[in-house]
Structure 1
Amino acid sequence: MTSKLVVFTVFASLSAFASFAQEAEDPFKDVIETRHGLMLQMASDLGALGAIAKGTTAYDQATATKAASNIAAIASVISMAQFPAGSEVEKSADSFALPDIWAKQDDFLAKIADLNDAAAMMQTAAAKNGDAIKASMAQLGGACSACHKAYRQPES
């Protein structure tokens, strides 16, 4: 029985150490999870607005304005703080950020500004009707796409 307890204790200690070592190896884990969460929320709200724009969901002002407000709020907090140097793909687990973010930081920040402009336009459109959302969707989708094409590694 004692040998089983020793084996269990050693195994538990090694497992805890391995888990600790893995976390210590990737200091950007939390920031990457945060930016993934921001992007997933934005994608969810874009989906709601896209369904209205396509006509697959009826226009509802409360739903549309909430989704557009969420997108604008998320866009307003995206900055280099969510993209610290060293948190790029192949250097940090679960990252899709390409190194050009830091090499072309001015362009990256300009794309974030474009996203903020498009999000503000969508807020205005969302308060009007489905046709206004449809008209605004191209600019918002284009802002997202422009940044992702330049600065995000596609998922495989």
Structure 2
Amino acid sequence: MKPRSVFGASLICSFLAMPALAQENPEIGQRQGQFNLIVHNFAVLGGMAQGRVDYDADLAQTAADNLFHITRHDQSRLWPEGTDSDSVEGTRALPAIWENLDDFVSKFGALQDAAEAVQAVAGDGLDALRPAVGALGGACQACHQTYRAEAG
């Protein structure tokens, strides 16, 4: 089976296996998918910045390019009211998102800016990458502290 066919089959299987929550509120599964892609690419960069993964300029640049584009995905339809952790199971999105949507959007804008800054330096060496990845992590954390429930 060709790699693209394997990917396609995996993607189809993952959609078939989605819980009823995603069927009732597909936006939850869609936004979680987007954030999973962010985590996937951030892990590459974070691993390099922390010295757990050898620095590879091409791999760093690819992950940073991915992050830039993922954070540019239109979020407007992914956050309908009633898809918070108090309203449905299977999400960690706190109701505070909808209570202070302007701040939430601002924090996502900071994530976009940080992703752009990482993209600009990812291939320029570890010394350039580390502070940009730190700022990206800070942008993630700023939103999580206010708008994401603890796991558990």
TM-score (norm: length of structure 2): 0.81
1:9-35 CA-to-partner distances (Å, cap 9, x unmatched) read xxxxxxxxxxxxx9499631x211111
What's the offset of the Cα at 1:44?
1.4
The one of 15, 22, 29 equivalent to 1:33 is 29
Indicate how the Cα distance of structure 1 residues 24 and 67 shifts in structure 2: closer, same or farther if over 3 A, else same.
closer
- Are 1:100 and 2:80 counterparts? no
Letter in 1 for 2:86: E
Letter in 2 for 1:39: F
- Aligned equivalents of 1:125 and 1:94: distance in 2? 36
CA-atom RMSD in angstroms: 1.9
Indicate how the Cα distance of structure 1 residues 24 and 128 shifts in structure 2: closer, same or farther if over 3 A, else same.
closer
- Aligned equivalents of 2:40 and 2:22: distance in 1? 31
- Aligned equivalents of 2:27 and 2:21: distance in 1? 14
- Are 1:70 and 2:94 counterparts? no
Larger radius of gyration: 1
- Aligned equivalents of 1:24 and 1:142: distance in 2? 30
- Are 1:155 and 2:144 counterparts? no
| Maintained 8 Å contact 1:42/1:71 | yes
Q: Which runs of 5+ in 1 are unaligned?
A: 1-21
* Larger helix fraction of residues: 1
Q: Which runs of 5+ in 2 are unaligned?
A: 1-18
- Aligned equivalents of 2:76 and 2:120: distance in 1? 27
Aligned pairs, number = 134
Aligned to 1:14: none
- Aligned equivalents of 2:114 and 2:120: distance in 1? 10
1:38-85 CA-to-partner distances (Å, cap 9, x unmatched) read 111111111110111112222212110111111111111152321111
- Aligned equivalents of 2:72 and 2:96: distance in 1? 21
- Aligned equivalents of 2:80 and 2:22: distance in 1? 15
What's the offset of the Cα at 1:118?
0.2
Runs of 4+ in structure 1 over 6 Å off: none
